[in-house]
A and B are shown apart, each in its own frame.
With several copies, the nearest count.
Chain A
Amino acid sequence: MAKITAGIATSHVPAVGAAIDMARTDDDYWKPMFQGYEFSKSWIKTNNPDVAIIVYNDHASYFGMEIMPTFAIGVAESFEVCDEGYGPRPVPSVEGAPELATHLAASLILDDFDLTVLNVLEVDHGLTVPLSLMYGTPDKWPSKVIPLAVNVVMYPQPSGERCLSLGKAIRRAVEEFDEDLNVQVWGTGGMSHQIQGARAGLINLPWDQKFMDDLIDQPEVLQYKPHLEYMREAGSEGVELIMWLIMRGALGDKVDEVHRFNHVPASNTSVGHLILTPKEGDA
């Protein structure tokens, strides 16, 4: 039986990817941020999953406006890295987990989640920056990946309730998979940031920290937070945080906090990072 053993949340700022790719992680500007991931990089060495389900959003990198899925799941053998306008990031391509991914996609559709199934997908910084933060610069990513792309760019985004329920359904589906696999769910994006308009540069660290508290302790309440509140309090791009709800839903009722980190700023963004594990003995 496959099992969800941990959830990871992290911002996925493109400039963080650039800092890694240009070996600037020791610069004065970047060092404090990357230090917050040192624990995580050693933690994952002993807690490496067979498969990471990475919940992320595409940033007009693979999907344009011709076709915009609410939820899309990648079931391919591998996923190439997008050219987002600066040339593709110099990182390994991403290995898929087709058996678990087809099981998961089918299970979720049977549970009335109206997924779009992708046999081809190129992934952008939303997915590769979290890999870089957790794994550094290996020749090959140490885990297989199932990309789960969420529309957070165009209103209406899926509701908080829908995201939390999707996470719960992912948990059930993984536990019904016959092979013994160690599976993690990663929720990416956020925290507060706004990268457009006269209000650009908005950061709301107290709000971010309260969001983390609620995510850990009372996701059932947090799920009803309207999108407008994310946008008002955490900036127009802060609404990415609904993706963390999917991760949280996949962990069960109670969780233990293994690691927590905040840093301001990375480029235009408040960086937040969590490692959570399902509480022992919790169903």
Chain B
Amino acid sequence: MKPDFEQFKDLPGTTIFTIEKGREGFQLNEFCMSLRKEENRRRFLADERSYLDEWEMSADQKQAVLTRDFQKMLDNGGNVYFLSKIFAAEGLSYVQAVSTMTDMNVEQYQAMMLAGGRSVQGWRSKKERDEA
């Protein structure tokens, strides 16, 4: 069956990690995997720039990591389970890191979750939101 990589583009505020994205983000995600080792976490946090220079990542990917711009990392082939190794290295939780990708601060995001989470109403499709 012909794969349809385009179908996901209609999802608002969502980046689907495809086999193609996996190629694009390979070095970025490999860097993240290296942070599963405590020693590497320490080396990375001690000198981020030179640790990143050990990986064949694009300048955009490195910049996104340095500025903790998770949305930009997603746009450049990162996947959130890989990227979690970056915020785990700093002791941050998923909620703390994930909320930075939204237009809320962490308190607002937590309040939304406690109130039952983000409603799917209005978030089903870009067409519905006139973003298409």
A and B touch in the complex (CB under 8 A): yes
A residues near B (Cβ < 8 Å) are 14-15, 18, 59-61, 64-66, 68, 75, 82-87, 98, 102-103, 105-107, 110-111, 117, 119, 153-156, 173, 176, 192, 194-205, 207, 228, 231-233, 236, 264-265, 267-268, 270
B residues near A (Cβ < 8 Å) are 1-3, 5, 7-8, 11-20, 22-23, 25-26, 29-30, 32-33, 35-38, 41, 70-71, 74, 79-82, 84-85, 88-89, 91, 93-95, 98-99, 101-103, 109, 112-114, 116-120, 123-125
Bound form: Cα–Cα A14–B62 in Å: 27
Q: Which of A18, A83, A86, A102 contacts B23 (CB 8 A)?
A: A102
A154 lies within 8 A of B118 (CB): no
Q: Which of B33, B91, B94, B116 contacts A264 (CB 8 A)?
A: B116
Using A153-B79, A201-B118 as known contacts, say yes or no to A107 and B1 having CB atoms under 8 A apart: yes
B123 lies within 8 A of A156 (CB): no
Q: Which of B12, B114, B125 contacts A198 (CB 8 A)?
A: B12
What residues of B have a CB within 8 angstroms of the CB of A231 in the complex? 8, 11, 14, 16
Extra A-B contacts (12), CB below 8 Å, given A196-B14, A264-B116: A60-B84, A65-B22, A83-B38, A98-B23, A106-B19, A110-B1, A155-B3, A198-B71, A201-B102, A201-B112, A201-B117, A236-B15
Cβ distance A129 to chain B, nearest Cβ, rounded Å: 13
Bound form: Cα–Cα A200–B109 in Å: 9
Using A61-B36, A102-B20, A117-B19 as known contacts, say yes or no to A86 and B14 having CB atoms under 8 A apart: no
B26 lies within 8 A of A153 (CB): no
Using A194-B14, A236-B11 as known contacts, say yes or no to A106 and B3 having CB atoms under 8 A apart: yes
A111 lies within 8 A of B1 (CB): yes
A85 lies within 8 A of B93 (CB): no
What residues of A have a CB within 8 angstroms of the CB of B120 in the complex? 202, 204, 207, 232-233
What residues of A have a CB within 8 angstroms of the CB of B84 in the complex? 59-60, 84-85
Q: Which residue of B lies closest to A194 (CB)?
A: B14
Bound form: Cα–Cα A267–B99 in Å: 11
Bound form: Cα–Cα A83–B12 in Å: 33
A85 lies within 8 A of B3 (CB): no
Cβ distance A249 to chain B, nearest Cβ, rounded Å: 17
What residues of A have a CB within 8 angstroms of the CB of B1 in the complex? 107, 110-111
Q: Which of A84, A156, A270 contacts B88 (CB 8 A)?
A: A84
B80 lies within 8 A of A195 (CB): yes
Bound form: Cα–Cα A84–B81 in Å: 10
A60 lies within 8 A of B82 (CB): yes
Interchain residue pairs A-B with the least CB separation, the first 8 = A203-B117, A85-B88, A198-B13, A199-B13, A106-B3, A60-B81, A110-B1, A59-B81
Cβ distance B45 to chain A, nearest Cβ, rounded Å: 12
B36 lies within 8 A of A83 (CB): yes
What residues of A have a CB within 8 angstroms of the CB of B29 in the complex? 60, 64-65
B80 lies within 8 A of A265 (CB): no
Using A83-B37, A84-B84, A201-B113 as known contacts, say yes or no to A154 and B18 having CB atoms under 8 A apart: yes
Bound form: Cα–Cα A40–B122 in Å: 37
Using A107-B1, A232-B125 as known contacts, say yes or no to A196 and B19 having CB atoms under 8 A apart: no
